[in-house]
Structure 1
Amino acid sequence: MSSRRNFLQQLAASVIAFPLIPADASLLHGNRDKETYDGPPLRVAILGLGSYGTRVAEAMKDCKRARLTGIVSGTPSKITAWQQKYGIPEKNCYNYQNFDSIKDNPDIDVVYVITPNSLHKDFSIRAAKAGKHVICEKPMAINAKEGQEMVAACKKANVKLLVGYRMHFEPKTLEIIRMRKDGELGKIMFFQGLSGFVAGDPNQWRLNKALAGGGAMMDIGIYSINGARYMVGEEPVWVTAQETKTNPEKFKPGVDETIQFQMGFPSGAVASCLSTYNMNNLDRFFLNGSKGYAELQPATGYGPIKGKTNKGELTQPHMTHQTVQMDEMAGIILDGKQPIVPVDGEEGVRDLKIIDAIYEAVKTGKKVVLK
């Protein structure tokens, strides 16, 4: 772990920056096994072979439209292990130094960047310059400025930039969004988002500001930010925020432990949220309207998601989030389909602008108006 961490720190310091399909009801509501697809698959290279990269690779075994065809890693032993496990040919394996030569590989359509946050921008831009579409884990960058640079680079290279918002394809989540859009909940008045867990190892990259770009807000708090936006159906116009830090040795300057934050929306709806690395059992969304309510708990975990509304329990079946995500993203990239909730780079920048504003509100103690 130590050598891996040191390598990533050196890489972060040295890497040079280069200048909803409308959800198919059968796909998202339980009949995936009956779906067939005979067209060309989306050929994916995963960059960053850690725990989440492994989760995505395993989920892709069940994909109908996306296939793992390449890997990129700074750890030679991981490349060897993944080659054997997933049958990746040597010509489709890259390290962080020769990665740019991926431009000459016709077996790869898209690079999925799954590294520590501070490395997202540079690897995404390198992939775009190599002519490959980009899927980037969230947060897509460490601030909105970097996110906008990624969007601009992908537009210039004429490739798509998507962000790994797996919840945007989750059936119970989409049902609540449908109910809100159809007016079944009435006028939306309040959202609560609780996102947190106890971060264990004090030496993990998530507690290293140079790699993570912050603390809990960058990792888990973004779920409540993003959730508030798609649940309320509006963009916030102001934020306020307060930070609590009980363990300054573990949570160094610039690494937030707990932040409570509030958001206001144009309609008058308000959101009250909590982001923390110091409390477990916090994964809940609650949406309240004049005619009804909706609740998800757990709301964003790997599943199964559980939920209810004023009309009763939500019963949409659980499917592996990353499997559905990758198949849906294949439709976006290959067919130009539009998801119910956006997953493009602009969507990622919107979340980053709010995170920037939350950190500013913590620092100043003032309400920050969002433009």
Structure 2
Amino acid sequence: MNSRRDFLQQLAATAIALPLLPLAGWAHGSNSRDMPHGPVLRVAIMGLGGYGTMVAEAMRACVKAKLTGVISGTPAKIKDWQSRFSIPEKNCYNYENFDQIKDNKDIDVVYITTPNALHHDQVIRVAAAGKHVICEKPMALNAREGMEMVAACKKANVQLLVGYRMHFEPKTLEIIRMRKSGDFGKILFFQGLCGFRIGDPNQWRLNKQLAGGGSLMDIGIYAINGSRYMVGEEPVWVTAQETKTDLVKFKEGVDETIQFQLGFPGGAVASCLSTYNMNNLDRFFLNGEKGFAELQPSTGYGPIKGRTNKGELTHPHVTHQTVQMEEMAGIILEGKQPVVPVNGEEGVKDLKIIDAIYQAVKTGGKVDLSL
């Protein structure tokens, strides 16, 4: 998978040459997003790091969603974003006072892109302020936290969505359509390989208190989630094994490499790998009695490349976060139902599997799942 660092190195070029959206009016130029297109989802981003920047830049091409606010603990970043994205002072908050967004009619939803360990409390606070929430994955550190977040949002009558950008990716959706149509026949096997060699040993992703784990929480979740939407069933058991070669970089509780296997009620099995110590791993493979599908790269920032037994998939690439935010605006504002769910309940299912994988690593046995 392309790392976040790889993306950020390309960010300036991407911002200059955002791909055109297949949406009416956009071809008339950058001012067209100010023309009437119906309701617009007004978004505040919480956490102005690498991924928050990626989402913000991608939203420049959105018609249904607009960046209107920021939440950060770094005043210098807030000032920079105010200038870059024309955000008024009244829509800028820090981590101490962002509860005040409840009185701000310029903000409909908060997109949380902070470290994993912060998601739980921040989602609950945003919900209490009466705003919808989009939370990056993994949604929380464990399933218990995730269920508390879902309950808090239901109590506040706000929507909780998770940043599953691949659920809107055209080649991925085409494979799901073909599987549902029976093109591959009975599904027998899925393989998901996700990994890259991580850099700075001092980054938060290698801090158990902030990340909740290691590669599994960051990159392995793509294989976990992908196995479910590619096979089209919920797994009923898991086994897992951990390999660690660098005890300095990957301290106690921070996994370097985990291999895990999933069993599905229809008889299909999945074999997956998550690692922070190998490059060139970003591949999904689905095998059925009548055909196959392959994505490689499968979850990187794009373009995704895919083929099936019927030939190459040729859908054009559009920046994933642009499509995601357009579709999420449709979900929140128009009640649209995505092909693959992106709600909090979907996030909890992945967290239950993550909990089970860590349990299987620890016990060396098979762990039953009930999603």
In the alignment, structure 1 residue 312 sits paired with structure 2 residue 311: yes
Distance 1:198 1:142 in 2: 22
Distance 1:34 1:277 in 2: 43
Distance 2:37 2:298 in 1: 34
C-alpha distance after superposition, 1:141-163 (max 9, x if no partner) = 00000000000000000000000
C-alpha distance after superposition, 1:215-256 (max 9, x if no partner) = 000000000000000000000000000000000111000000
In the other structure, the counterpart of 2:191 is 192
In the alignment, structure 1 residue 347 sits paired with structure 2 residue 346: yes
Whichever residue aligns with residue 46 of structure 1, its letter is: I
Distance 2:199 2:21 in 1: 36
In the alignment, structure 1 residue 32 sits paired with structure 2 residue 23: yes
Matched-pair identity in %: 78
In the other structure, the counterpart of 1:9 is none
User: Secondary structure at 1:61's aligned position in 2?
Assistant: helix
Distance 1:142 1:213 in 2: 5
In the other structure, the counterpart of 1:135 is 134
Taking structure 2 as the reference length, what is the TM-score of the superposition? 0.91
User: Secondary structure at 1:242's aligned position in 2?
Assistant: strand
2:21–2:61 CA contact under 8 A, matched in 1: no
C-alpha distance after superposition, 1:124-172 (max 9, x if no partner) = 1100000000000000000000000000000000000000000000000
1:30–1:317 CA contact under 8 A, matched in 2: no
Question: Number of matched residues?
Answer: 343
Alignment CA distance shift 1:186-1:34 (3 Å): farther
Q: CA deviation at 1:32?
A: 3.2
In the alignment, structure 1 residue 282 sits paired with structure 2 residue 281: yes
In the alignment, structure 1 residue 230 sits paired with structure 2 residue 229: yes
In the alignment, structure 1 residue 361 sits paired with structure 2 residue 360: yes
2:238–2:262 CA contact under 8 A, matched in 1: yes
C-alpha distance after superposition, 1:196-229 (max 9, x if no partner) = 0001100000000000000000000000000000
2:293–2:306 CA contact under 8 A, matched in 1: yes
In the alignment, structure 1 residue 243 sits paired with structure 2 residue 234: no
In the other structure, the counterpart of 2:103 is 104
Whichever residue aligns with residue 250 of structure 2, its letter is: F
C-alpha distance after superposition, 1:276-317 (max 9, x if no partner) = 000000000000000000000000000000000000100011
In the other structure, the counterpart of 1:63 is 62
In the alignment, structure 1 residue 269 sits paired with structure 2 residue 268: yes
User: Secondary structure at 2:157's aligned position in 1?
Assistant: coil
After alignment, is 29-38 or 191-200 more displaced?
29-38
Q: CA deviation at 1:40?
A: 1.9
In the other structure, the counterpart of 2:13 is none
Distance 2:244 2:364 in 1: 15
In the other structure, the counterpart of 1:18 is none
Distance 1:131 1:203 in 2: 36
In the other structure, the counterpart of 2:121 is 122
In the alignment, structure 1 residue 157 sits paired with structure 2 residue 156: yes
Taking structure 1 as the reference length, what is the TM-score of the superposition? 0.91
In the other structure, the counterpart of 1:335 is 334
Structure 2 unmatched runs, 5+: 1-19, 27-31
Distance 1:223 1:172 in 2: 16
Structure 1 unmatched runs, 5+: 1-28
Q: CA deviation at 1:33?
A: 5.5
Coordinate RMSD, CA, aligned: 1.1
